[in-house]
Amino acid sequence: MEEWQKETVYQIYPRSFQDSNGDGIGDINGIISRLDYLKELGIGLIWLTPMYRSPGNDNGYDIADYYQIDPVFGSMEDFERLLNEAHKRGIKIIMDMVLNHTSNENRWFQEALKSKDNPYHDFYIWRDPVEGHEPNNWVSKFSGSAWKYVPELNQYYLHLYDVTMPDLNWRNETLRAEIFKMLKTWANKGIDGFRLDVINNISKDKDLPNDTFKTPLDDGRNFYTNGPHVHEYIHEMYEEVFGPNNFVTVGELSSTPVSEAVKYTNPERQELSMAFTFHHVKVDYTGGNKWTLGNYKLTDLTRILSDWQVKMNRHGGWNALFWNNHDQPRAISRFTDDSKYRDQSAKLLAMVEFGLQGTPYIYQGDEIAMKNAYFTDISQYKDHESINAYNELVDNGLDKETAIKILQQKSRENSRLPMQWNSSKYYGFTTGQPWLKPLHHDDYSVEKVLKMKNNVFNFYRALIFLRKNKTLLTDGAYKLLDSQDNSVYSYERFDDKGKILVMANFTGKSQKRDVAEGFDLLLGNYEGIEMNDGTVTLRPYESVMLENK
């Protein structure tokens, strides 16, 4: 068992975490000022979303210079101090790295634009027009065609994401050598690992065939997701960088089945430590379409979580466990109740996550039950994906009110609100004007929550402690108890020495369920437990962790 498998990771979205200089944007010195807070929570690793030099068209995931810290976040000296201060507290730092694409302002792409003969031209994926139009019918994740025409070259370049983010050509050995050189530079600074953005998209089918559009998923991804050489490329990175530096690595693996995720994370294959997969946070996509007013069934959610638990364990893979991140709306607003039963809901989601096998991730604000932004007008959004989706919905005839409701439910901007530290203006995030203004006048903050009895923060602390001290939670097998239960998610973790039972009521009504003899309360999100004669009564959004030794 590796150390990181028992630790808890805290994801920081630097732009929204803590501003130290009053410019309204979170920064490195702000993070340093909150390290003691994270140490108190019990965090072992911090994942930092990108802070490299970038024009910010995708909030840093469009990298213009892999070697430089963007001045908006501070200096390289600030970053080195952050590393040092985190390590003093026994906290490791994982950097976010984007290797599928760069910004179009990156020096490599600026050179690529000069001519077809420029050595950097082949660092990207270019194709000539086909009968006067795009080389194929692939759709960008940010809507519209995945190809951009450059008249001066009479060629198109591929951009699976924003038009300002051209995809890199991993078939080019010189490009790969440049990437490995850059990764080693960060390793030499003393970082502890990488989170690899959309890493399963780096290998495309060389023929770039058209897709069928039979479903929303047949939009090109069949020919670039988990492509022909992706495992070969990642193993090469392991041999060059990850292995020699004993790195903790996590790959973002959207649209990846369990059979592939196991390959990425089985230690014998020497690729990645663990995998982010997203099937469980797509259960409210109507017909696979994200931009809809969707509902979910608990049985669908528990089936997906259970499938990944059983199959990853069986084949030696390892899950990265999460409900929230910078690309997802808040789970408390999505799957539970963020008003009347807010505290219970936050604790329920935490317990369900920490009871599963894998490495748990806390996204900033989870530990104080932060909820969705509920913006009411498109002018309040900064996120290109959300704005593009809104415009497309309206252009296709949907009324603006419904389009906004869809964004209130699905936009990733919901998770990007500034961290709520205290009750002062803008929650103590900044003394200036925040880059993204909070609107829902929420009264929750770190300051308030820490004063509350049996608060969410301390509940997370208890779960982090349990994971470090109960080997059953890291090593034990998993079993879903009732796949047809659409109200209560009940599962066991077990080995030959004992069992831990997790039961979570995902409804606003009390639910009675049978419990075998010999189980005692280990942790719950209410005071006490209503259990007698082999029956437990779960109050609205109540979750319990029971142990049978």
Q: What proportions of the chain, in percent to the nearest 5, are helix, strand and coil?
A: 35, 20, 45
* pLDDT (tens digit per residue) in 240-287: 999 999 999 999 998 899 999 999 999 999 999 999 999 999 999 998
| Residue 96 is assigned to a structural domain of this protein | no
- Confidence bin at 480 (pLDDT 50/70/90): very high
| Residue 194 is assigned to a structural domain of this protein | no
Mean pLDDT, range 37-57, rounded to an integer: 97
Residue at a domain's end among 94, 126, 158? 158
Q: What pLDDT does residue 375 have? A: 96
| Residue 82 is assigned to a structural domain of this protein | no
% of the chain with per-residue pLDDT over 70: 100
- For the cut 90, the answer to whether the pLDDT of residue 179 exceeds it is yes
Tell me, what CATH number does 500's domain have?
2.60.40.1180
SS3 181: helix
Neighbours of 87 (CB within 10 A): 13
Q: Two tokens at 291?
A: 């931009």
* pLDDT (tens digit per residue) in 90-131: 999 999 999 999 999 999 999 999 999 999 999 999 999 999
Mean pLDDT, range 193-205, rounded to an integer: 98
- Confidence bin at 74 (pLDDT 50/70/90): very high
* pLDDT (tens digit per residue) in 379-416: 999 998 899 999 999 999 999 999 999 999 999 999 99
| Residue 153 is assigned to a structural domain of this protein | yes
Mean pLDDT estimate for the chain: 96
**Number of structural domains, the chain?**
2
Q: What pLDDT does residue 460 have? A: 98
Tell me, what CATH number does 138's domain have?
3.90.400.10
- Confidence bin at 432 (pLDDT 50/70/90): very high
- For the cut 80, the answer to whether the pLDDT of residue 1 exceeds it is no
* pLDDT (tens digit per residue) in 141-170: 988 999 999 999 999 999 999 999 999 999
- CA 178, CA 19: separation in Å to the nearest integer? 33
Residues whose CB falls within 8 Å of the CB of residue 451, separated by 6 or more in sequence, listed in order: none
Catalytic residue among 19, 70, 252, 367: 252
CA distances from 371 to 334, 441, 449, 490 (A): 9, 11, 14, 25
* pLDDT (tens digit per residue) in 327-351: 999 999 999 999 999 999 999 999 9
- Residue 134 annotated as catalytic: no
Q: What pLDDT does residue 438 have? A: 85
Q: What pLDDT does residue 143 have? A: 85
- Residue 482 annotated as catalytic: no
- CA 14, CA 527: separation in Å to the nearest integer? 35
| Residue 187 is assigned to a structural domain of this protein | no
- Confidence bin at 549 (pLDDT 50/70/90): confident
Residue at a domain's end among 158, 186, 221? 158
Largest CA distance in the chain: 79
Q: What pLDDT does residue 189 have? A: 98
Neighbours of 35 (CB within 10 A): 17
- CA 438, CA 429: separation in Å to the nearest integer? 11
Which of 318, 319, 198, 201 is closest to 266 using CA atoms? 318
Q: Two tokens at 66?
A: 């892999």
| Residue 541 is assigned to a structural domain of this protein | yes
Q: Two tokens at 164?
A: 């300002």
Q: What pLDDT does residue 462 have? A: 98
- CA 62, CA 60: separation in Å to the nearest integer? 5
Which residues on neighbouring strands pair with residue 501, listed in sequence order? 492, 546
SS3 147: strand
Residue at a domain's end among 125, 158, 191? 158
Q: Two tokens at 257?
A: 């089945």
Please name the amino acid found at residue 301: L
| Residue 502 is assigned to a structural domain of this protein | yes
Catalytic residue among 167, 197, 366, 367: 197
Q: What is the 3-state secondary structure (H, E, C) of 44-75?
A: CEEEECCCEECCCCCCCCCCCEEEEECCCCCC
Do the beta carbons of residue 12 and residue 48 sit within 8 Å? yes
Please report the DSSP string for 96-111 in residue order: EEE-SB--TTSHHHHH
| Residue 488 is assigned to a structural domain of this protein | yes
% of the chain with per-residue pLDDT over 90: 94
- Confidence bin at 216 (pLDDT 50/70/90): confident
SS3 548: strand
Q: What pLDDT does residue 384 have? A: 86
Domain membership of residue 136 as a residue range:
107-158
Q: What pLDDT does residue 395 have? A: 96
Mean pLDDT, range 216-220, rounded to an integer: 90
